[in-house]
Chains A and B, each alone.
Chain A
Amino acid sequence: MDLSYSPEERAFEQEVRDFLKTSLPDHIAAAVRAGGDLTGDMLQEWHRILSAKGWLATTWPKEYGGPGWTPVQRHIFEVECNRFHAPRIVPFGLAMLGPVIQTFGNERQKKDVLPGILSAEDWWCQGYSEPGAGSDLASLKTRADREGDHYVINGQKTWTTLGQFANKIFCLVRTKFDCKPQEGISFVLVDLDTPGIEMRPIRLIEGGYEVNEVFFTDVRVPVENLVGEENQGWTIAKFLLTHERTNIAGVGSSMQALEEVKALARRVRRNGRPLIQDPLFAARIAQVEIDLEAMKITNLRMLFQAQKQGHPGPETSILKIKGTVINQELRDLARRALGPSAAPFPGAVTDGNLALSPPDTAKNAARYFNNRKTSIFGGSNEIQRNILTKTMLEL
């Protein structure tokens, strides 16, 4: 056992810092710092910068154009990106579809799909959940009927994150009906400019717009857009969800959130002293800091385990459960630290001189509400517990 960074790892850390210092555009970092709402152009701009450096597809093997990083390098990159307020990399093409195509795609699909992800040319979004198929994903009803060389897709997908910026979508569709729900699902790739697709925004709890409903009416998709075998989509769906969990601990983001909470609690005064000197509030910070300190190691241990096995295992559900709870707790503390100053609707106080809280904390309440999603999406924390029950406990 050895938790220290090697000289090579330290050099890499410095390289990442230098890169972020010179290459992360100020207007993008400022937008992240202010609490989120990034335009599609900003995200795309950052993706292209990373792509040019060869650091966009951080989890991909070298043969597909990934940087071939070790788990420690990936950890360092994540931590530094958060420290410098770089946007989170949009995961749907890179962390989800990429590994699927590399594992289940044919040679033509590898040639057609992977370069567009790697160059940030294509923006993929996800067509998994449906109004009637959330946690019980296998009950999905969107159907794809074969007509000659095409599938004709009809149905509705939902919770499609950042679909408003995407040009492509990967979907789970039903291709067989007289069987167990899991046995009749296929995985298909769809161009969003195909006639018959309509995307509608869903406004979220805090007022923001990041997810969509997607309606499919007689959408004709070439049969060669099927990934893997027909009716084998459930295997791919599960594979993809495991990969979705690899970076889900959000350690870098929580480390940054912890620093923000501490800074805020030093600035806010209550009972005639900085809030951080209030024993009750300091205790709340300390407890979550300790949980995060453990989470860093849990995350690294599991990254190493995944590297050894060649793929992430079911134990990554632990990262999802605990990582999201830690992050939510930190967002809660940031909101509480502001007290009544957290209340103004973002943008409601237009005169900067009258703002109740510093500009970079104005969205703390909104962030708190928005982050309630993390224990729900990507397989709710209850679904993660079911996965662990089956695989780790064998109950």
Chain B
Amino acid sequence: MNFDLTEDRQMLADTLNRYLADQYGMETRNAVAYEAPFHDPAKWSAMTDLGIAGALVPEEQGGFGGAGFDITVVFEALGKALCPEPFLGTLMAARLLGAAGADMETLVSGETRYAVGLGEIDAAYDLDNIATTAAASGDGYVLNGRKSAVYGGQDADLILVLANLDGVPAIFSVAAKEANVVDYGMIDGGGAAEVLLEDAPATLLLADASTAVQDAVNAGRLALCAEAVGAMETTYEVLVDYLKTRKQFGRPIGTFQVLQHRTVDLLTEIEQARSITINAAASLGEDDATLKIAMAKNLIGRAARLVAEEAIQMHGGIAMTWEYSVSHYGKRLIMLDAQLGDTDQCLSEVMQSYAA
């Protein structure tokens, strides 16, 4: 047992943090994150050139990472900078393509941008209840249905879609231009899409895909946990700095015990969030991954909301403004809970383990 990052992962973290600090500062980020296409294709390319996509893919599949701790290193850095580049889709696609034994050269190079469409309006997290169906047609298949909250779908080349084929969940690859992609920007920055499939031509990637889909969801949840840890870290640093400099009643507000103790509680929860994310990262690919990662996503959901709401409250009015960074961090921390299974969903998944 040990808690040190390997040298390679530390280097990856340093490289990515440096790039984001230099090239993706808050002003740039806000200019990119809230205007179509809700990310910056040039920066996307620069980041894939740095190896960010490759870090999410195992070596035997053409990358140089793909383990739980590779994922957390990348997404913690993205979270620290609140980066809106759609690497969540890259990661989840890599898990599905990997399960199918498909080629990932253009995913790793960044040439092809992937998004993954799993959930639907009436089946946001409970993927057993999806309504999208696939049917054979000529040499291939056609899909019918509507995929919701397809992150990165606003500017993807290929969308991997979960659909039932003869009642069995399967994963299909759909060219974005073959579907009706209704894209939108999100309140916390970045983009997504509703993907409307009306006899959309598709290629079968994985028949009987339940296990692979669960693994992709697990990896995606893990990434969101790490992203939240990064965003919480930055929020906390900005808050402590503000408590030292902001003066009211003739003294720094950080001298007031009512704020000190609440800030310590945030520190405690952030350490817990970091711990449970480490625990989840270690489990990815193991038998207990689904349970351990659901546990992590639940704790992260609670901690992220606490940090967001408390940081805004303790800052006062300034954190209510668009101009101040904490408002954007706060939005991200709140909204990422709803991605791939929220606090309550994950808690009820953990409760399922008591049924046995």
Against B, the Cβ 8 Å flags (1 = close, 0 = not) of A280-304 are: 0011011101110111111011001
> Judging by beta carbons under 8 Å apart, are B1 and A389 in contact?
no
- For B6, B267, B273, B282, the residue with the greatest tally of chain A CB atoms inside 10 Å of its CB is B267
> Judging by beta carbons under 8 Å apart, are B298 and A290 in contact?
yes
Known: A294-B273, A386-B260. 5 other contacts (CB 8 A): A6-B1, A290-B298, A386-B257, A388-B267, A393-B254
Interface of B is mostly: helix
Q: Which A residues from 95 to 137 make CB contacts under 8 A with B? A: none
- Tell me if B46 counts as interface (CB < 8 A to partner A): no
Distance of A125 from chain B, by nearest CB (Å)? 31
> Judging by beta carbons under 8 Å apart, are B261 and A389 in contact?
yes
Could you list some 19 contacts between A and B, CB below 8 A? Answer: A2-B282, A3-B282, A6-B1, A285-B351, A286-B351, A287-B347, A293-B276, A295-B272, A297-B275, A300-B1, A300-B3, A322-B272, A382-B261, A388-B267, A389-B261, A389-B264, A393-B240, A393-B260, A395-B260
Q: Known: A2-B282, A291-B299. Contact between A285 and B263, CB under 8 A?
A: no
- Tell me if B248 counts as interface (CB < 8 A to partner A): no
- Tell me if A354 counts as interface (CB < 8 A to partner B): no
Contact of B260 among A300, A315, A389 (CB under 8 A): A389
- Tell me if B279 counts as interface (CB < 8 A to partner A): yes
Contact of A2 among B2, B252, B257, B275 (CB under 8 A): B2
A residues less than 8 Å from B263 (CB atoms): 389, 393, 395
> Judging by beta carbons under 8 Å apart, are A318 and B267 in contact?
yes
- Tell me if B278 counts as interface (CB < 8 A to partner A): yes
A residues less than 8 Å from B292 (CB atoms): 293
B residues less than 8 Å from A388 (CB atoms): 264, 267
- For B244, B263, B268, the residue with the greatest tally of chain A CB atoms inside 10 Å of its CB is B268
> Judging by beta carbons under 8 Å apart, are A9 and B1 in contact?
yes
Q: Which B residues from 1 to 38 make CB contacts under 8 A with A? A: 1-6
B residues less than 8 Å from A283 (CB atoms): 347-348, 351
Q: How large is the interface on B (under 10, 10 to 19, 20 to 34, 35 or more residues)?
A: 35 or more
Residues in B lying within 8 Å of A, measured CB to CB: 1-6, 69, 240, 243-244, 252, 254-255, 257, 260-261, 263-265, 267-268, 271-273, 275-276, 278-279, 281-282, 292, 295, 298-299, 347-348, 350-351, 354-355
Distance of A348 from chain B, by nearest CB (Å)? 32
Distance of B208 from chain A, by nearest CB (Å)? 30
B residues less than 8 Å from A4 (CB atoms): 1, 282
- For A277, A293, A321, A382, the residue with the greatest tally of chain B CB atoms inside 10 Å of its CB is A293
> Judging by beta carbons under 8 Å apart, are B295 and A290 in contact?
yes
In angstroms, Cα B240 to Cα A3, docked, is 31
In angstroms, Cα B302 to Cα A322, docked, is 15
A residues less than 8 Å from B282 (CB atoms): 1-4
B residues less than 8 Å from A394 (CB atoms): 244
- For B5, B254, B278, B281, the residue with the greatest tally of chain A CB atoms inside 10 Å of its CB is B278
Contact of B276 among A285, A297, A385, A392 (CB under 8 A): A297
Q: Which A residues from 376 to 395 make CB contacts under 8 A with B? A: 382, 385-386, 388-389, 392-395
In angstroms, Cα B236 to Cα A395, docked, is 13
> Judging by beta carbons under 8 Å apart, are B271 and A318 in contact?
yes
Q: Known: A1-B3, A4-B282, A294-B276. Contact between A286 and B271, CB under 8 A?
A: no
In angstroms, Cα B271 to Cα A86, docked, is 30
A residues less than 8 Å from B255 (CB atoms): 395
B residues less than 8 Å from A393 (CB atoms): 240, 243, 254, 260, 263-264, 267
Q: Known: A4-B1, A5-B1, A318-B268. Contact between A294 and B243, CB under 8 A?
A: no
> Judging by beta carbons under 8 Å apart, are B295 and A285 in contact?
no
A residues less than 8 Å from B2 (CB atoms): 1-2, 304
- Tell me if A279 counts as interface (CB < 8 A to partner B): yes
In angstroms, Cα B292 to Cα A300, docked, is 17
Q: Known: A283-B348, A393-B264. Contact between A294 and B355, CB under 8 A?
A: no
- Tell me if A262 counts as interface (CB < 8 A to partner B): yes
- Tell me if A43 counts as interface (CB < 8 A to partner B): no
Distance of B351 from chain A, by nearest CB (Å)? 4
In angstroms, Cα B348 to Cα A279, docked, is 8
B residues less than 8 Å from A294 (CB atoms): 272-273, 275-276, 279, 299
A residues less than 8 Å from B354 (CB atoms): 262, 276-277, 282, 285-286
In angstroms, Cα B353 to Cα A276, docked, is 11
In angstroms, Cα B267 to Cα A389, docked, is 10
In angstroms, Cα B1 to Cα A6, docked, is 7
In angstroms, Cα B295 to Cα A262, docked, is 17
In angstroms, Cα B299 to Cα A297, docked, is 14
B residues less than 8 Å from A16 (CB atoms): none
> Judging by beta carbons under 8 Å apart, are A301 and B275 in contact?
yes
- Tell me if A72 counts as interface (CB < 8 A to partner B): yes
In angstroms, Cα B348 to Cα A277, docked, is 12
Against B, the Cβ 8 Å flags (1 = close, 0 = not) of A175-203 are: 00000000000000000000000000000
Closest 4 CB pairs of A and B: A297-B275, A294-B276, A3-B282, A395-B254
Distance of B73 from chain A, by nearest CB (Å)? 10
Distance of A384 from chain B, by nearest CB (Å)? 8
> Judging by beta carbons under 8 Å apart, are A290 and B299 in contact?
yes
Q: Known: A1-B282, A294-B275, A395-B254. Contact between A286 and B347, CB under 8 A?
A: yes
B residues less than 8 Å from A282 (CB atoms): 351, 354
Distance of B174 from chain A, by nearest CB (Å)? 37
> Judging by beta carbons under 8 Å apart, are A290 and B267 in contact?
no
In angstroms, Cα B278 to Cα A293, docked, is 11
Against B, the Cβ 8 Å flags (1 = close, 0 = not) of A1-36 are: 111111001000000000000000000000000000
In angstroms, Cα B243 to Cα A304, docked, is 31
Contact of B5 among A1, A262, A298 (CB under 8 A): A1
> Judging by beta carbons under 8 Å apart, are B350 and A290 in contact?
yes
B residues less than 8 Å from A385 (CB atoms): 260-261, 264-265
> Judging by beta carbons under 8 Å apart, are A287 and B298 in contact?
yes
B residues less than 8 Å from A295 (CB atoms): 272, 275
> Judging by beta carbons under 8 Å apart, are A395 and B1 in contact?
no
Q: Known: A3-B282, A4-B282, A72-B1. Contact between A298 and B275, CB under 8 A?
A: yes
In angstroms, Cα B2 to Cα A297, docked, is 11
Closest to B253 in A: A395
B residues less than 8 Å from A392 (CB atoms): 264, 267
B residues less than 8 Å from A287 (CB atoms): 298, 347
Distance of B106 from chain A, by nearest CB (Å)? 30
Q: Known: A298-B271, A304-B2. Contact between A1 and B350, CB under 8 A?
A: no
Closest to A302 in B: B271
- For B69, B252, B264, B299, the residue with the greatest tally of chain A CB atoms inside 10 Å of its CB is B264
In angstroms, Cα B282 to Cα A289, docked, is 18
Closest to B275 in A: A297
A residues less than 8 Å from B278 (CB atoms): 1, 3, 297, 301
> Judging by beta carbons under 8 Å apart, are B261 and A1 in contact?
no
